[in-house]
């Protein structure tokens, strides 16, 4: 493996803490899909291509040179089960690569404030941050779940943070609904990230695309392990 590829792999792993899922049948034609942006951009999703884990999309985010990325897929598990897994933040270190600590600081109703510490080998600095996650848009009675998260500036007295860099921006969502014919889960997982530091924008895009797929694969394995 070249030094550049190793650097991409290590850098790409920062986005691990985020949380996870997707694989929908796809044709090879370029297309767009609708959806809600994690920030202010409302431009349509543009297809990037098909991957082993699902179909990949990008869309422009106002005020950012880095696009939001989304992958959609299918899981052989119910939406409620997938939702429980991707919001079980205290267990992320067990199955998400490079997450050395994921700790729920506060939970109230459908909101969770979560501390993440990500560690990468080589010259890439650790990332440490707190996110606020909400499932307020979910409709359990319709078997539909939506989990949105973003960086939080909330102060938690006594929180001991590991040494590392706070991302410039990090937001995303999971959207989970019954699959065709009520079988399994049709899932969409989106992330907009700017990890900060000296990582160039083109590399952030590449690492995000790849890590979306790695997270989906990790969720798929975890679902299989848990039966």
Q: Which tokens is 19 given? A: 């949380």
pTM (2 decimals)?
Answer: 0.81
- How many Å separate Cα 182 from the centre of its chain? 25
Structure tokens at 111: 């909101």
Domains in the chain with CATH codes = 3-226 (3.30.530.20)
Alpha carbons 183 and 4: distance in angstroms, whole number? 41
pLDDT single digits (tens) 63-122? 888 999 999 999 999 999 999 999 999 999 999 888 899 999 999 999 999 999 988 777
Residues counted in the chain: 227
Alpha helices in the chain (DSSP H): 3-12, 79-86, 92-95, 201-226
Given a contact cutoff of 8 angstroms between Cβ atoms, the answer to whether 208 and 193 are in contact is: yes
CB contact at 8 A, 158 and 152: no
Q: Specify whether the backbone of 174 is left (phi greater than 0), alpha (psi in -120 to 50) or beta.
A: beta
pLDDT-derived band of residue 197, with 50, 70 and 90 as boundaries? confident
Report residue 225's pLDDT band, with 50, 70 and 90 as the boundaries. Answer: very high
């Amino acid at each position: 493996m070249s030094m550049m590829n190793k650097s991409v792999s290590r850098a790409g792993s920062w986005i691990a803490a985020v949380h996870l899922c997707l694989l929908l049948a796809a044709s090879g034609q370029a297309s767009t899909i609708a959806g809600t942006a994690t920030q202010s951009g409302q431009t349509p999703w543009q297809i990037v291509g098909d991957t082993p884990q699902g179909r990949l999309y990008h869309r422009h985010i106002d005020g950012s040179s880095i696009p939001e990325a989304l992958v959609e897929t299918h899981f052989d598990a119910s939406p409620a089960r997938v939702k429980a897994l991707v919001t079980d933040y205290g267990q992320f270190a067990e199955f998400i690569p490079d997450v050395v600590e994921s700790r729920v600081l506060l939970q109230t109703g459908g909101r969770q404030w979560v501390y993440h510490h990500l560690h990468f080998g080589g010259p890439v600095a650790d990332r440490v941050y707190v996110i606020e996650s909400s499932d307020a848009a979910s409709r359990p009675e319709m078997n539909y779940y939506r989990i949105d998260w973003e960086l939080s500036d909330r102060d938690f007295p006594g929180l001991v943070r590991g040494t590392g860099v706070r991302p410039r921006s990090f937001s995303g969502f999971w959207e989970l609904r019954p699959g065709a014919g009520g079988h399994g889960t049709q899932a969409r997982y989106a992330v907009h990230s700017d990890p900060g530091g000296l990582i160039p924008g083109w590399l952030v895009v590449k690492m995000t695309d790849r890590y979306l797929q790695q997270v989906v694969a990790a969720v798929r394995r975890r679902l299989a392990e848990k039966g």
